[in-house]
């Protein structure tokens, strides 16, 4: 499909751009995560490709009794013209070179030609596991579930998995 090839080119361009963007020697405090994978993989009739970007400003991190918490904001775009924009909170747990980041992010879902999730307001819970690659770079896998918590007439939910690349600037 032409769209699949376009998605691959966009992801490659974004990933390469992250490597060649200028980096200064000051402390890195902004992190961008670029990801791609399968949206709603557990529903054979509705599975589609997804790409996305997420931002985290590490200056806003707070140490709490739950660990280090940080606000995140992002957007994901599906091959079928559906989209989801979100903002919420992410916990950060560093285990040597491994990083575990669960998050909760309310957001707005645009159905496009995609699955009817029952409401414009949806909630995303996510588990992310990454490994440190280079200085200020990580690579990993994430899994999420999007649901409207029965706010809509129906609540089919969607499960997704993605590969992601994180870069601090």
Give the pLDDT confidence of 30-86 residue by residue, as tens digits.
889 999 999 999 988 889 999 999 999 878 888 888 889 999 999 999 999 999 999
Top pLDDT among 4 and 93 is at 93
Number of residues that make up the chain: 169
Q: How far apart are CA 58 and CA 104, in angstroms?
A: 17
Angle 136-70-11 (CA atoms, 0-180°, nearest 5)?
50
Q: Domains of the chain (ranges plus CATH)?
A: 2-21+28-168 (2.40.160.20)
User: For residues 123 and 150, is the Cβ–Cβ distance under 8 A?
Assistant: no
Does pLDDT of 9 surpass 90?
no
Q: How far apart are CA 109 and CA 88, in angstroms?
A: 15
Instruction: Quote the pLDDT of residue 134.
Output: 86
User: For residues 33 and 168, is the Cβ–Cβ distance under 8 A?
Assistant: no
60-63: list long-range contacts, CB under 8 Å, 24+ apart: 61/92
Instruction: Quote the pLDDT of residue 33.
Output: 94
Q: 3-class DSSP state for residue 19? A: helix
Q: How far apart are CA 102 and CA 128, in angstroms?
A: 6
Instruction: Quote the pLDDT of residue 79.
Output: 92
Give the pLDDT confidence of 77-105 residue by residue, as tens digits.
999 999 999 999 999 999 999 999 999 99
Give the pLDDT confidence of 96-144 residue by residue, as tens digits.
999 999 999 999 999 999 999 999 999 999 999 999 998 889 999 999 9
pTM of the model: 0.82
């Amino acid at each position: 499909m032409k769209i699949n090839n376009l998605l691959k080119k966009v992801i490659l361009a974004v990933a390469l751009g992250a490597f060649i963007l200028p980096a200064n020697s000051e402390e890195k405090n902004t992190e961008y995560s670029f990801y791609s994978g399968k949206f709603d993989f557990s529903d054979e009739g509705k599975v589609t490709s997804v790409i996305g970007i997420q931002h985290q400003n590490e200056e806003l991190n707070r140490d709490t009794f739950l660990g280090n918490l940080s606000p995140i904001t992002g957007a994901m775009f599906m091959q079928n013209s559906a989209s989801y924009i979100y903002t919420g909170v992410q916990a950060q747990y560093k285990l040597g070179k491994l990083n575990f980041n669960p998050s909760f992010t309310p957001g707005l879902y645009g159905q496009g030609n995609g699955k009817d999730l029952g409401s414009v307001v949806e909630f995303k819970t996510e588990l992310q596991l990454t490994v440190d690659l280079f200085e200020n770079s990580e690579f990993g896998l994430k899994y999420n579930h999007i649901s409207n918590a029965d706010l809509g007439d129906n609540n089919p939910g969607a499960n997704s998995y993605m590969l992601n690349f994180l870069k601090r600037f």
